[in-house]
Structure 1
Amino acid sequence: MGNDRKTLIEQKKVIAKKKFSQNFLLDENIINNIIEKSGVDNETGIIEIGPGLGALTKKLIKVAKKMLIYEIDSELIPYLNDFFKEYQNYKLFNKDILKIDVNKDIEEYFFDVNKIIVISNLPYHITTPIIMKFLEDVNGIDSLTLMMQLEVAKRITSEPNTKDYNALSVIIQHQTEPEYLFKVPKSVFYPKPNVDSAVIKLTIRKDIFNNEHKGFYKFVHACFSQRRKTLVNNLYSTYNQFTKQEFIDILTTIGINAMTRAEALELNDFIALYKHFNTIKSEEILIK
């Protein structure tokens, strides 16, 4: 099974599957740039999601201490195992990353690494669920270097008072320090997708406020529920057990104008607003 990746594609032995959002990255310069920006070294444990034909894997496996690789497409597993049969520092799983206990694999295999980095060319249709799984359910991750649809990358890394800034921006910035790295044109993939991509890096924050996340995230989504409406109206629509005047009083107390829209608030404003709101009524009522 000695065929290289391009030959497999040219001979149509491997067909990209739309149901898995498969677009194989083939550009060596972009691959090198991803690895450099990720900060991987020979003491790092790498988690790679959706390696495809292993274009990124073939370089990561040479520089990382260990790799956990998850590929949902069973047809690619024999090729990947053949490509990397000379290496002993990886475990390849034919599993759906959204349905497994990654912590268990980390505990069993990454017991002797200094840091853990996620690196992936994410499937477009499940980008956000994968990111949130690692932020909410997986322990010990230091950073994530991820390629995704350009529009989503801009949203995650956007600043207040910009058109891309929304609830996802706030939620991810709550747990990470996001950095937009570079744009990736659609021409460097096979098959060529309809949109451009971008690579971002999410460094896990160690200073997040110690509150139950789901309540805060529901609150942030409520703030952005209708972009053109004010915070007061959006919050009242979701938490109508309170009066509009109560919301106005909360905003005024922490120095936010009652006519403000969610897109004008920074992360710390949302945290302060949520904490103050939480002191008025019990959390049980808040997140019902």
Structure 2
Amino acid sequence: MARTPTRASARTSTPAQPRTHHRRRELSQNFLTTTTAAPARLVRAARPHPNRLLLEVGAGKGALTEVLAPLVRELWAYEIDARLLPGLRTRFAGAAGVRVVGGDFLAARPPREPFAVVGNVPFSRTAAIVDWCLHAPALTDATLITQLEYARKRTGDYGRWSKLTVLHWPWLSWALHGRVGRREFRPVPRVDAGILRIERRARPLLPPGEAAAYRRLVEVGFRGVGGSVHASLCREGYAASRLDRGFRAAGLDRSVVVAHVPPEAWLALHRSLKGSAY
């Protein structure tokens, strides 16, 4: 059992004094206001399972915690800002199933039982928090408010795909559940946010024995040697004739650059190339 991560999340906020404002910036804290529909939209996207453990990243003063607590069996609310902990613990002292955890979420050991993660995460620590989630074996899903650009990049919303998304696609789905305007936070950040949902697939798209070959294919393709995926794979020892058949099966042009290859095309290419030398 372990606990201790990241910044403050959803909470009621009023204009801060300069010292407090500086502290929030230091922790990359942008709290959701309670006068908008953003907290409810996040909860709808998260779809908390009533009998499953839920971890909240950055509880703040507990605005989101209060909405989530009645929906789940057990809620661990993490808060890194020690000054907010007394208020949180007082507010939820009588709430069955709510555990307020002080410290850094990223230092927490993932639970061994199935669990989900939800939270309004600090933009500066988004990549680290997502990485923590991706490497938690028992994680079922994570629903996070992130910088909009990050959420769009990870979900292919720009028409381009990142290596991180493609590498994990056979086991995890990535979806963007809308925009959260910058004015819905205090202090107001420079950019809008998005609701990113990462969900473990009930049935992986590849059998376990093919995981290493698939990941190696993606890693090689994303090296960008030669300017195209086809050229990169050729340079790594894949037979050109076999690659040509694989590209036709995946509906890909030989000149396609790596960012424009969607995850399903990578899967089709992998299936066609199974057993090919590299």
TM-score normalised per structure 1: 0.76
* Aligned-residue offset at 1:89: 1.0
> Is residue 2:191 matched to residue 1:192?
no
Among 236, 260, 263, the residue aligned to 1:267: 263
Question: Residue in 1 aligned with 2:84?
Answer: 76
Aligned equivalents of 1:227, 1:181: Cα separation in 2: 34
Among 199, 206, 209, the residue aligned to 2:202: 206
Letter in 1 for 2:31: F
Can you give the 5+ residue segments of structure 2 that lack an aligned partner in the other structure?
1-10
> Is residue 2:108 matched to residue 1:92?
no
Change (3 A) 1:228 1:125: farther
Question: Residue in 1 aligned with 2:245?
Answer: 253
Question: Residue in 1 aligned with 2:8?
Answer: none
Tell me the matched-pair count: 260
* Aligned-residue offset at 1:190: 0.9
Letter in 2 for 1:37: A
Letter in 1 for 2:245: T
Aligned equivalents of 1:51, 1:216: Cα separation in 2: 38
The equivalences for 1:133-172 within 5 A come to 133-139=132-138, 141-158=139-156, 162-172=158-168
> Is residue 2:29 matched to residue 1:22?
yes
The answer to which structure, 1 or 2, has the higher relative contact order (CA under 8 A, 6+ apart) is: 2
- Answer 1 or 2: which has greater helix percent: 1
Can you give the 5+ residue segments of structure 1 that lack an aligned partner in the other structure?
108-114
Among 63, 66, 74, the residue aligned to 1:66: 74
Question: Residue in 2 aligned with 1:173?
Answer: 169
SS at 1:254 equivalent? helix
Contact 1:154 1:164 in 2 (8 A): no
Contact 1:183 1:197 in 2 (8 A): yes
Aligned equivalents of 2:110, 2:83: Cα separation in 1: 22
Change (3 A) 1:57 1:234: same
> Is residue 2:57 matched to residue 1:49?
yes
Aligned equivalents of 1:202, 1:158: Cα separation in 2: 13
- The CA deviation string for residues 255-277 of structure 1, in whole angstroms up to 9 with x for no partner, is 44433322343323323444666
- The CA deviation string for residues 156-210 of structure 1, in whole angstroms up to 9 with x for no partner, is 2216xx5442223323433322332111010111111111001132221133222
Change (3 A) 1:92 1:180: same
The equivalences for 1:112-151 within 5 A come to 116-139=115-138, 141-151=139-149
Contact 1:167 1:224 in 2 (8 A): yes
SS at 2:54 equivalent? strand
